[in-house]
Amino acid sequence: MIPCTSFVFSAGNLIPYIDGSFVLRMVGLRFPQTASTSVVGAISLTFSAPTSVYVDFGDGNSTTYNTTSFGGNNVFYMGDKGINSTQTLPPYATAVHVYADETSSPRIISFNFDNNLLTGITVALMILSHGDLDFEFANYSNLKTFNFQQVSSVVNLNLLNASLSSQLTSIYINNTFTSTSPYYNYIPLELLNMPLISLGVGTEGFGASNFETNNMASIVNCAATLQTLIIQGANIGDDDHGEGALPANFVDLVNLRSLGIYGTLHTTFPAVINSMTWLTSLNMAYTGHLTGFGDFSALTNLTALSTASTPNLSVTLPSWLNSLIKLKSWNWLAVGSTIPGALDTFVGNIYSFVTTNAPITGVSTDPFRNMSFNISPYYIGDGTEIPSGTFQQPTGYILGSSNGSPASSLEMIWVMTNQYKHSWVYRTV
């Protein structure tokens, strides 16, 4: 017999059922159900070999799904797209299950699969309710990724056996815990004593204590292996408890390449970041508090920057921007939506910057050539403007010689696309 495990998302709880499987109880008209109209709520399972997943939806209907081979993984994915979301479901997505009617009694939804083949589990942005998350890590010998984020539903999480899985290198528990959880105010140390490559943490409770107490300073325990760090939804600001915007010992995260800071109270980029000169990707996004860039001029290895969905961020470019000579990608999605004319101003400022600092002819590795920009909205109706004008060649333009006299944002984007080989994503209507 193939050893298998089943679990269900029971209004947010991953709890053992009487037959030894895992079950989830929930009430609603579909499974999964997204937590927001602008995002995708989903469950995703990845396996080391092609296999099948048997799902009992708790209403007399059940289906066996074969995994899909995609990107080197064997995937089962079921997602619910928000009605205003600009995101798309992946090509291997399985349709949500729609119930005939609502019920006041929790439904039991079970997932059965070969637990020896499981390499990753993700539960994200679903409407779930409070309860304990009982997931026996030691039962999944090949588990590499455990991702349970932005469900704000878990009270307790059994981490006693998490370190027994030698394969577990990526953990994301962003905004997972309720305000009644013992983990609401700090990062479980059990996670920080593992050889993690990727770590995502954060709840609003982090702001209640200093970096030593909430264990953010202990992230440095993973310095030998950690390459990606996400801090999300943590209620911390520019000078948290007099210790600065982030732990000072982040300068010791010498193997870190990607840093993401989302939904915090910071009004500017934390100063300690400027000492992390090895970073190649920096994301400070999804917050209305961010207004300024601060100084990260020393990040000369930076190739990707995201300031997505920061409606109050200044569109005035920092004077030191020309020091980021390897920068090739900037996600400006849904920025400046509270500032009239911000998008046109930003495009104009980027145009002036590029035409001043980039060679008019050259190769892709030249500074500020072959860049990509995303200035599209986060979701339909978010207030993000569209660039003005018509996407066309401006008067006086000569390839390799003159940029002409662009009279609108879209003519500037035309010049940057054709003369400097940029790629721009934007809304047209």
pLDDT digits (tens, 9 = 90+) for 86-101: 678 889 999 999 999 8
Tokens 């939904």, residue located: 263
State yes or no: pLDDT of 11 exceeds 60: no
**Do β-strands 93-94 and 228-232 pair in parallel, antiparallel, or remain unpaired?**
unpaired
Q: What is the mean pLDDT of residues 198-204?
A: 93
CA distance 275 to 298: 7
Question: For residues 42 and 122, is the Cβ–Cβ distance under 8 A?
Answer: yes
Q: Which of 109, 33, 122, 39 is nearest to 73 (CA)?
A: 122
Question: For residues 246 and 270, is the Cβ–Cβ distance under 8 A?
Answer: yes
Q: Note the pLDDT of residue 3.
A: 42
205 contacts: CB under 8 Å, gap ≥ 6? 177, 179, 184, 185, 186, 214, 235
∠ CA 291-343-293, nearest 5°, is 25
Q: What is the mean pLDDT of residues 233-238?
A: 92
Question: For residues 164 and 139, is the Cβ–Cβ distance under 8 A?
Answer: no
State yes or no: pLDDT of 186 exceeds 80: yes
Q: In this predicted model, what pLDDT tens digit does every residue of 376-408 receive, in sequence order?
A: 887 777 778 889 999 999 999 999 999 999 999
Q: In this predicted model, what pLDDT tens digit does every residue of 54-78 receive, in sequence order?
A: 999 989 999 999 999 998 899 999 9
Q: Note the pLDDT of residue 133.
A: 64
Question: For residues 79 and 40, is the Cβ–Cβ distance under 8 A?
Answer: yes
Q: Note the pLDDT of residue 129.
A: 65
Instruction: Please compute Rg for the chain using Cα positions.
Output: 24
Helix (H, G, I), strand (E, B) or coil at 85: strand
Q: How is the chain split into domains, by residue range?
A: 314-429
Report the Cα 56 to chain-centroid distance in Å: 30
State yes or no: pLDDT of 230 exceeds 70: yes
Q: Note the pLDDT of residue 36.
A: 80
State yes or no: pLDDT of 179 exceeds 70: yes
State yes or no: pLDDT of 163 exceeds 80: no
User: Where is pLDDT greater, at 14 or 300?
Assistant: 300
State yes or no: pLDDT of 20 exceeds 80: no
Question: For residues 229 and 253, is the Cβ–Cβ distance under 8 A?
Answer: yes
Question: For residues 265 and 235, is the Cβ–Cβ distance under 8 A?
Answer: yes
CA distance 71 to 125: 23
Instruction: Identify the helix (H) or strand (E) that includes residue 409.
Output: helix 409-419
Q: Peptide bond preceding 377: is omega within 30 degrees of 0, i.e. cis?
A: no
User: Where is pLDDT greater, at 30 or 424?
Assistant: 424
State yes or no: pLDDT of 175 exceeds 70: yes
pLDDT > 90 in the chain, percent: 58
Q: What is the mean pLDDT of residues 165-174?
A: 84
Average pLDDT, the chain: 87
Q: In this predicted model, what pLDDT tens digit does every residue of 248-289 receive, in sequence order?
A: 999 999 999 999 999 999 999 999 999 999 999 999 999 999
* Sign for the pseudo-dihedral over CA of 149, 150, 153, 154: positive
Q: Note the pLDDT of residue 286.
A: 92
Taken as a whole, the chain contains a residue count of: 429
pLDDT > 70 in the chain, percent: 89
Under the banding of pLDDT at 50, 70 and 90, the label for residue 22 is: low
Q: In this predicted model, what pLDDT tens digit does every residue of 361-383 receive, in sequence order?
A: 999 999 999 999 999 887 777 77
Q: Is 139 left (phi over 0), alpha (psi -120 to 50) or beta?
A: alpha
Cα diameter, the chain: 76
Q: What is the mean pLDDT of residues 315-332?
A: 97
Under the banding of pLDDT at 50, 70 and 90, the label for residue 21 is: low
141 burial level (CB within 10 Å; 0-12, 13-18, 19+): middle
* Sign for the pseudo-dihedral over CA of 310, 313, 317, 321: negative
Stated pTM of the model: 0.89
SS3 per residue for 339-398: CCCHHHHHHHHHHHHHHHHCCCCCCCCCCCCCCEEECCCCECCCCCCCCCCCCCCCCCEE
State yes or no: pLDDT of 156 exceeds 80: no
- From residue 25, alpha-carbon distances to 14, 42, 49, 160, 337 in Å are 9, 16, 29, 24, 39
CA distance 232 to 248: 18
